[in-house]
Amino acid sequence: MRCFNVPLMAFAVMTVPMKFAAAQAAIPLVDIKSVDPTILVELRYAGRNNLTGHPLYPLGTRALVRPEVASRLSKAKTFLRHYQYRLKIWDAYRPVAVQVKLWQAVHNNDYVANPETGAGSLHSWGLAVDATLVDAWNRPVRMPTDFDDFTPAAMWHYAGPDFEIRSHVHLLQIAMRNAGFYGLPTEWWHFTIANWQEYLPPEKAKQAAQVCETHWQDKL
Ligand SMILES: [Zn+2]
């Protein structure tokens, strides 16, 4: 298992809260692919196909997470394989500098965490991923929306009429829940390790608990 202590300066911009960045510099991160090569990775912020229309990550950026997150993703992948589906990662560790850019682009706390509030985004602590399903041939399957579709259609609870979409999103949710993740009410693709608070400095965990709504709904 290869570990990375991400050099945050590679992503640094003037607006990064520097104290925050320093606290995160020591986060142990692994490449998801090094833990489980069968998990697909398409980092949407590494290309133009994202809400900003341009790449936010340097070429060759890998999908990094804390080791515990990577092993849980592998567990979710194993579950999905029984149903002939695979797991695809759209985003993983997200440097604070990139979170700042997303916040500037969206500026809506329902969808993007303000990097200067609480613990910021749990992506920036290596504790969250954005994920979807693909079929056994790596083809996209029908899901409620595309990535970063900040509309009611992207809500955790799929309210549309399509049985196939509902079954896909439920399967993803069950796989991730069984592997030890929480979801987010406004984004079906976002998952956070269930015990995320254990990985933050106590004061950050407390602040984050006040702004994060990472919980599972009663039904899947
Ligand atoms: Zn996310």
Per-residue pLDDT reduced to its tens digit, 155-198: 999 999 999 999 999 999 999 999 999 998 889 999 999 999 99
What pLDDT, on a 0 to 100 scale, did the predictor assign at position 211?
57
Number of domains in the chain: 1
Q: Determine contact, residues 22/12, Cβ cutoff 8 Å.
A: no
Domain annotation covers residue 110: yes
Using the mean position of ligand 1's atoms as its centre, give its distance from the Cα of residue 111 in Å. Answer: 9
| CA neighbor of 193 nearest in space, from 144, 122, 105, 90 | 122
Average pLDDT over residues 16-27: 59
Residue 216 within any structural domain of the chain:
no
Residue 163 CA to ligand 1 center (angstroms) comes to 25
The residue segments making up the domain with residue 9 are: 3-126+147-211
Look at residue 214 in the predicted model and tell me its pLDDT.
42
Which value, to the nearest 10 degrees, does the dihedral of the CA atoms of residues 68, 70, 71, 75 take?
130
Determine which of 26-40, 172-186, 205-219 has the lowest per-residue pLDDT on average. Answer: 205-219
CA of 137 from ligand 1 middle (Å) equals: 25
The CATH number covering residue 191 comes to 3.30.1380.10
Coil/strand/helix, residue 136 = coil
Question: Is residue 180 in some structural domain?
Answer: yes
Task: Specify the pLDDT at position 146.
Answer: 96
Ligand 1 centre from 202 Cα, in Å? 22
Answer yes or no: is 135 within a domain: no
Q: How far is the CA of 121 from the centre of ligand 1 (A)?
A: 8
Residue 107, domain member (yes or no) = yes
